[in-house]
Amino acid sequence: MEEFIGKIWHNWVTRAAGNHYPQAAVKLAEVEKAAGILFRAFGGDPGLNVAAATSETHGARRRWLQRVAGSGEKVAHARRDAETLRLPPEIAAFPEKSLNRDLYLWLAALAASDFAPNKPWFIRNQLASQAALTRYPGLRPRYERLVAAHLAGRIDPAQLQPDEAAQEMAIRRALQQPAAVDGLPPLNSKKSRPPQPVLLWLIAAETRTAGKVADPDGELPPEGSGSQAGEKEAHKAEQVETPDNKAPMLAMFRAESLPTWAEYVRVNRAFDEDENPNARDAAKDLDQLSLTRDGQTAKSRVKFDLDLPSAAEDDAPVGPGIPLPEWDYRKSLLLADHCHLQPMIASDAGHAALPDELAATARKLRGQFAALAPQRRWLKAQPDGPELDVDSCVRNHADRASGHTPETGGYLAQARCERDLACLLLADLSMSTDAWISDSHRIVDVIRDSLLLFSEALTATGDRFGIYGFSSLRRQNIRFHLLKDFNSRYDAAARARILAIKPGFYTRMGAALRQAAAILYEQPASRRLLLIITDGKPNDLDLYDSRYGIEDTRMAVHEARRMGLTPFCVTIDREAGAYLPYLFGPAGHCVIRKPEELPRRLPLLYAQLTRQ
């Protein structure tokens, strides 16, 4: 009964406190795509992702009922940083759902018009609002409705202290007339509270607020070790000093807490290496993450990278390696010889036949692709050939009779119509491909089957093709696996190298794309297709696991296009729509929702891309 009465009281007092209308709530997932399109259409940075912001305590004064209900203490502010546009995960500030949706769209337009990020918060938002309304006058009616609804929900200045009231009046005027207020009046008392949150404005992005905080030594968990359902929320972080008490729990130790023999129970105790299943939920409940250095140097620790194979089990390196550039978008500079790519080949793969489970599909594909094979056709009016060209002979006889010299030959000859085409297939072999998609198959198994069926299909057409794989472990260890080059046949040895591929490491895609483009550029063909298979976005153990990797990959794609190549990406990442259009363009990629369909669809996709 107490719990039932408590729920009734909580629901009533929360509704009575106001400023929250669950029945009219709009979630970010409902408008994320529209907000992203509007942000980019209004001139916003196309490299930014749209993600959810976290709720933070604002410290402003609240109404009496809000204090009783315990509501209105936190708010999710919209913010923009170098990599992400963060919007509230849900907006329920107005009683009308249309107003809550319009607030999302206004925040996207405001962020796109934010041209003075270094200005103070109060001035910056006024300038951005004025710029948005000037450039896009159609936003003004919606903006005025939002301002009127927002001001109606704010505390009346008459109920505030004089200095707080002066700030509130300045904010109200700045909302109604952007760029009309030069500054925010200061607070005169230590007991004064900061102004109430302004839902129509952005807040300054803090330097220590990010989706993740880098380890001092640059180490991150292996790719694919986390949950597949990644959260888009950020956490506020601070750096703190290590406590002087190295073992604070010892001071609280009591001998009476030791279990006796009768109290001992054999249980399955966890190890330090075991993952805590509640860690993610616990982290989401934290308002702020505190990080500290433990005082130990990197040399004093024993570290193992379990992704590194031993030299006896690894592929054999080919040559000394290749230095490659990398694009630093922050400096707008192509860093020469910044990466080191090492070509590798499986030396002990041997020879292998096509797996039995793929034989039937391979026969079907070879039959379908045989129609694309070059056919012989008759060429007329040739100087020599196995048969006479009757039409040409009659024409030549008429020319001689009229006193003209015949200009064409009188024979028919057969010629083979070659497909002037070369294709390089580049496969992502990072650790994330070790994830299971069914009870019997991993992503790497699907990629392996796709490469085999792709090779079987192209063998039937006679098209020249090469197959390579890549993974990386920082910029100085980019592994580029040779599975089949353009100068060799697809035979049992190439098939064995494809069957021997293993997942490992990370996805430094820019360097691999540049090397693949250089190989494909050397092929004498009028059409050259660079086909990439991946299961996620670019990442590595450093700055590459952020917008840095996205921008470098995008620049590598542009470089390939300037070389006359046609890059095309095939992915099984369901969230690829958030970044692949930025990397490859709207028509330069394909998302396959069901990974198990990749082996069957890849050859058919190639046939569509190479259709004359």
Q: Taking Cα atoms as reference points, which of 555, 572, 147 lies closest to residue 327?
A: 555
Strand order in the sheet with 411-416: 376-382, 411-416, 387-388
Residue spans of beta strands (DSSP E) within 353-477: 376-382, 387-388, 411-416, 421-428, 464-472
The CA distances from residue 502 to 60, 220, 223, 445, 589, in Å, are: 55, 21, 14, 9, 25
Q: What is the pLDDT of residues 215-247, one digit of tens each?
A: 433 444 444 443 344 445 566 666 666 555 555
Q: What is the pLDDT of residues 111-145, one digit of tens each?
A: 999 888 888 989 999 999 999 999 999 999 999 99
Phi, psi of 197 (to 5 degrees): -60, 140
In 522-573, which residue ranges form alpha helices assigned H by DSSP?
Answer: 547-562
Q: Taking Cα atoms as reference points, which of 398, 11, 428 lies closest to residue 224?
A: 428
Of residues 403 and 553, the one with the higher pLDDT is 553
Q: What is the pLDDT of residues 69-95, one digit of tens each?
A: 666 678 888 998 888 889 999 998 899
Q: Which residues contact 534 (CB under 8 A, 6 or more apart)?
A: 428, 507, 509, 569, 570, 571, 573
SS3 248: helix
Q: What is the pLDDT of residues 60-70, one digit of tens each?
A: 777 766 676 66
pLDDT band at 187; cut points 50, 70, 90:
confident
The mean pLDDT value of the chain amounts to 81
Q: What does the alpha-carbon distance between residue 306 and residue 159 come to, in Å, rounded to a whole number?
A: 62
Residue 53's pLDDT is 87
Is pLDDT above 70 for 296? no
Residue 491's pLDDT is 93
CATH 3.40.50.410 location in the chain: 316-369+419-609
Q: Mean pLDDT over residues 525-535, rounded?
A: 93
316-369+419-609 fold? Rossmann fold (3.40.50)
Phi, psi of 178 (to 5 degrees): -55, 140
Q: Mean pLDDT over residues 414-432, rounded?
A: 83
Residue 60's pLDDT is 77
Q: Which residues of 365-399 are buried (b: 16+ CB within 10 A; e: fewer)?
A: bbeebeebeeeeeeeebbeebeeebeebbeebeee
With 0-12 / 13-18 / 19 or more C-beta atoms within 10 angstroms meaning exposed / middle / buried, residue 113 is buried
Q: What does the alpha-carbon distance between residue 129 and residue 201 come to, in Å, rounded to a whole number?
A: 8
Q: What does the alpha-carbon distance between residue 262 and residue 30 come to, in Å, rounded to a whole number?
A: 58
**511's tokens:** 């360097």
Q: What does the alpha-carbon distance between residue 98 and residue 82 come to, in Å, rounded to a whole number?
A: 30
Q: What does the alpha-carbon distance between residue 509 and residue 532 come to, in Å, rounded to a whole number?
A: 10
Q: Mean pLDDT over residues 357-372, rounded?
A: 86
pLDDT band at 315; cut points 50, 70, 90:
confident
Strand partners, 421: 527
Q: Taking Cα atoms as reference points, which of 37, 236, 205 lies closest to residue 124?
A: 205
Phi, psi of 209 (to 5 degrees): -105, 115
Q: What does the alpha-carbon distance between residue 142 and residue 171 come to, in Å, rounded to a whole number?
A: 19
Q: Which residues contact 16 (CB under 8 A, 6 or more apart)?
A: 65, 69
Q: Confirm if 293 and 242 have CB atoms less than 8 A apart.
A: yes
Of residues 312 and 162, the one with the higher pLDDT is 162
Percent residues over pLDDT 90 in the chain: 41
pLDDT band at 50; cut points 50, 70, 90:
confident
Q: What is the pLDDT of residues 397-422, one digit of tens each?
A: 888 888 887 777 877 776 655 678 89
The helices-and-strands tally (H runs, E runs) of the chain is 16, 23
**283's tokens:** 């982290």
Tokens 């919007």 belong to which residue?
A: 87
Q: What does the alpha-carbon distance between residue 12 and residue 10 come to, in Å, rounded to a whole number?
A: 6
Residue 218's pLDDT is 41
Is pLDDT above 60 for 105? yes
Q: What does the alpha-carbon distance between residue 436 and residue 429 come to, in Å, rounded to a whole number?
A: 14
Residue 88's pLDDT is 92
Is pLDDT above 70 for 252? no
pLDDT band at 294; cut points 50, 70, 90:
low
Q: Confirm if 379 and 414 have CB atoms less than 8 A apart.
A: yes
Helix (H) or strand (E) holding 447, with range, is helix 443-461
Q: What does the alpha-carbon distance between residue 51 and residue 275 come to, in Å, rounded to a whole number?
A: 26
Neighbours of 603 (CB within 10 A): 23
In 462-546, which residue ranges form alpha helices assigned H by DSSP?
Answer: 492-499, 509-521
DSSP state of 442: B
Helical axes 97-112 vs 28-41, angle rounded to 10°: 40
With 0-12 / 13-18 / 19 or more C-beta atoms within 10 angstroms meaning exposed / middle / buried, residue 310 is exposed
Amino acid identity, position 120: P
**pTM, whole model, 2 decimals?**
0.72
Amino acid identity, position 163: D
Q: Confirm if 607 and 369 have CB atoms less than 8 A apart.
A: yes
Q: Which residues contact 187 (CB under 8 A, 6 or more apart)?
A: 163, 164, 167, 194
Residue 506's pLDDT is 93
Of residues 2 and 470, the one with the higher pLDDT is 470
